[in-house]
Amino acid sequence: MFSIEHEFDASVITLVDDGAAALQEDVVINAYAECITLEQFNPRLGQAEKITLSMEQLRDLAAALDLPEGVYRVRPDRESDEKA
């Protein structure tokens, strides 16, 4: 399950783990114009952990989800994938 909220400076997506067993904490994704942040509460540390991805890293992640094992570079001029 997930929710989407549009705020002044970001779109906020919250992913809720509603699976059967061993549920994980919610993941909150903040989509800004210049970057994406992912936050998840770590119960062992008692605090939220945050990861920041540039828009280029997000583009590469999206491309990687549909590609086989290997090393790739996305060409900015053609926006096509090439195997390195």
The answer to whether residue 8 scores a pLDDT higher than 70 is: yes
pTM over 0.85: no
Q: Which two tokens stand for residue 8?
A: 């002044």
CB 35 within 8 Å of CB 55: yes
What is the C-alpha separation between 83 and 81, in angstroms, rounded?
A: 7
Span 11-61, pLDDT tens digits: 999 999 988 877 899 999 999 999 999 999 999 999 999 999 999 999 999
Q: How confident is the model at residue 65 (pLDDT cuts 50, 70, 90)?
A: confident
Q: What pLDDT shows up at residue 7?
A: 92
Beta carbons within 8 Å of 65's beta carbon, 6+ residues apart: none
Look at residue 84 in the predicted model and tell me its pLDDT: 56
